[in-house]
Amino acid sequence: MRTWWLTVALATGCFTDPPAAPRPPLVVHPPRSASDELYPLDEAVADALATPLTYVDTGPWFGIFRIAACMYRNDRVLVVDVYCTSKEMSSFRVDVFSPTRGRVTIYAEAKAPISTLARADYFTFKAEVEPAANLPPLRLDMPLARLRAADETRYHRTGPACWGGIEIVYPATRPSGRCRGDLEAKGAAWNDRNLPFLTEPNEAWYRLVKELRARAVRDSRHVAHPTP
């Protein structure tokens, strides 16, 4: 299932030095749902929108070739728009990292730009979640290069995780998911908590997609060096 996120795409945009980004104070918020061992998808989206996102940098992202990612942060999470291009693609991926709650990756794909569509028009909509304990230590003030290295380390650890969604299925069926490793027994609970979002995401999801899409038009151009 890890191969979901190793995608090859074509990059667009020019290469200029990124402007300096102010660093917000390092604030670590405790989990808002103490009973949730795994970061719920809707709460990750809510955290990304809880306070304004500050642009950090644009550059390479692990597993993605010939395309740049744009990184943002607020006082709760780090947010990576993985396909940060000036011209919108028909796929969209956002990674949300919380120092206390873990990592959430949400991926959508359709036949048209995602920001113009509703869930019913996606033919792929899926997510993966890993607990904070499986991640290298994260800080809200870390730069893009360090977060990228941390995510690569996380990937090679192949730790416990949960994932689910629907992918190129016709006729459409109810999304399903499962967990691996020490989290295997939590698969049913993870489904109960997250499948409603994967079936019919809330308004916050569409708001996040549109916000990142609008920012990408500008921020995709702030690439200091060509992506390898």
The answer to whether the beta carbons of residues 74 and 51 sit under 8 Å apart is yes
Res. 77: pLDDT tops 70? yes
Other beta carbons within 10 Å of 190 = 23
Q: Under 8 Å CB-to-CB from 127, ≥6 apart: which residues?
A: 41, 104, 105, 106, 107, 163, 164, 165, 194, 197, 198
The answer to whether the beta carbons of residues 78 and 96 sit under 8 Å apart is yes
pLDDT in tens, 23-59: 444 444 444 443 357 999 999 999 999 999 999 999 9
Strands 69-73 and 78-81: antiparallel
pLDDT in tens, 84-131: 999 999 999 999 999 999 999 999 999 999 999 999 999 999 999 999
Other beta carbons within 10 Å of 79 = 25
Res. 20: pLDDT tops 90? no
